[in-house]
Structure 1
Amino acid sequence: MEGSMPDPVTNRAGRRPVTSRSEVEHAAFELFARQGFEHTTVDDIAQAAGIGRRTFFRYFPSKNDVAWGDFESQLALMRARLAEAPADKPLLQVISDALVDFNRVDPAEAPWHRRRMELILTIPALQAHSTLRYAEWREVLAEFVATRLGSTPDSLAPQAIAYATLGVALSAYEQWLRSQDAELGDLMRAAVHELGAALGTA
């Protein structure tokens, strides 16, 4: 009879299966907040999301990657937009725009993004993974800066600018997490401006 066979995934999880990466993230963030990142397993996340392990790994290579979301796609987009920047646009302005664009968050996702960044910035178990992600991000920026300056990505100026820009982004995020009323994009722009002003008087 129709309806006599329960959906094995929905029945196991006690909720309908999720349909997107962001929904898996939300289920994971709720678990991390309730029982801690280190005490939450991939199986826990899959069960809470109403999916199987295989589906989880189609979205994320590991539990650590949940915190970073769709990082690779965002990084590819950042690379493309840096390449499209007008050659006569000041370097600092290009970097500021790229920083704001890369970290742009839909207002509906802002509360979840706060949870994401709290994880990335405060959970010791994520630090090694985050170091790899930071390196990928700096590499993209260093390649762009090197092209602008006519140097190589591993030379001093592109590397220094990439490291400094990452520091700017992290400082803006720390301010954002401390203030519920702050607008992330404004903080990013202000932080880049402060860096430029300080370097201009060095």
Structure 2
Amino acid sequence: MQRGPGPSPRTRAGRRRSTTPDHISDVAIDLFTARGFGEVSVDDVAQAAGIARRTLFRYYGSKNALPWGAFDDHLQTLRALLDHVDDAVPLGDALRDALLTFNTFDELETARHRQRMRVILETAELQAYSMTMYAGWRAVIAEFVAERTGTPASALGPQTVAWTMLGVALSAYERWLADDSVSLPQALGDAFDVVRGGFDAAF
């Protein structure tokens, strides 16, 4: 259910649509999908969201941040998932379960998430910024592995697992975006299973 590229319809007099980071990001995703990332300005997004430019910048520091939405909040969710894993659960099982749970969406959310990930993964101008966002995701994984193995998060083992998990996620997302018949959980599970033997052997 995609909005058009123009301004949002005006609300009734005396009422203002509530402004949330998710609403702004959703409006931006619609515009980027319809026009292309490079053809949409911050002013375009603000106008379509029915807010002032300065209000947009209270929520997002740059245009590049808009497709990512409340990603920091999602990282906290991932951290909480891993924090609650029982120590008796093997590392491979813990990482696989967390990966699939973190990337589980209902039907409506899945359609929006597909739009979001297509913008993030297929927009050349976003790739450098995306690496800074991936760093936060890798840090959560590395911290979990470090806790499990009694090593620093900066050590080779936790960092290798973190980078590998990022590769798993990105390859799965690329497959999912390329093939509508493949579900996201299936793509993620299949990608993880390719490398699982290495995790089981090492940890």
- The verdict on a shared fold, with TM-score over 0.5 as the criterion, is yes
Which residue is 1:6 aligned to? none
Q: Secondary structure at the match of 1:38?
A: helix
Larger Rg: 1
The 3 A distance-change label for structure 1 pair 106 and 57 is farther
Moved more, 113-122 or 29-38: 29-38
Which residue is 1:83 aligned to? 83
| 1:66 alignment partner AA | L
Cα RMSD after superposing both structures: 2.1
Count, aligned residues: 191
| 2:88 alignment partner AA | D
The 3 A distance-change label for structure 1 pair 180 and 86 is same
For residues 1-202 of structure 1, the aligned pairs below 5 Å read: 14-16=9-11, 18-19=17-18, 20-197=20-197
> Is the CA contact (8 Å cut-off) linking 2:33 and 2:119 kept in structure 1?
no
Query: What percentage of residue pairs aligned between the two structures are identical?
Result: 42
> Is the CA contact (8 Å cut-off) linking 1:18 and 1:49 kept in structure 2?
no
The 3 A distance-change label for structure 1 pair 85 and 183 is same
> Is the CA contact (8 Å cut-off) linking 2:91 and 2:199 kept in structure 1?
no
Moved more, 160-169 or 19-28: 19-28
1:98-124 CA distance string (max 9 Å, x none): 111222223112222111111111111
What TM-score, normalized by structure 1, do the two folds share?
Answer: 0.86
> Is the CA contact (8 Å cut-off) linking 2:22 and 2:70 kept in structure 1?
no
**Distance in structure 2 (CA, Å) of the matches to 1:111 and 1:199:** 32
- Give the deviation of 1:59 after TM superposition: 2.9
What TM-score, normalized by structure 2, do the two folds share?
Answer: 0.86
Q: Secondary structure at the match of 2:87?
A: coil
1:110-153 CA distance string (max 9 Å, x none): 22211111111111111111010111111111111011111111
**Distance in structure 1 (CA, Å) of the matches to 2:199 and 2:44:** 48
User: Gapped runs of 5+ residues in structure 2?
Assistant: 1-6
**Distance in structure 2 (CA, Å) of the matches to 1:26 and 1:84:** 31
| 1:15 alignment partner AA | R
Q: Secondary structure at the match of 1:88?
A: coil
**Distance in structure 2 (CA, Å) of the matches to 1:172 and 1:139:** 20
**Distance in structure 2 (CA, Å) of the matches to 1:109 and 1:143:** 28
| 2:169 alignment partner AA | A
Q: Secondary structure at the match of 2:51?
A: coil
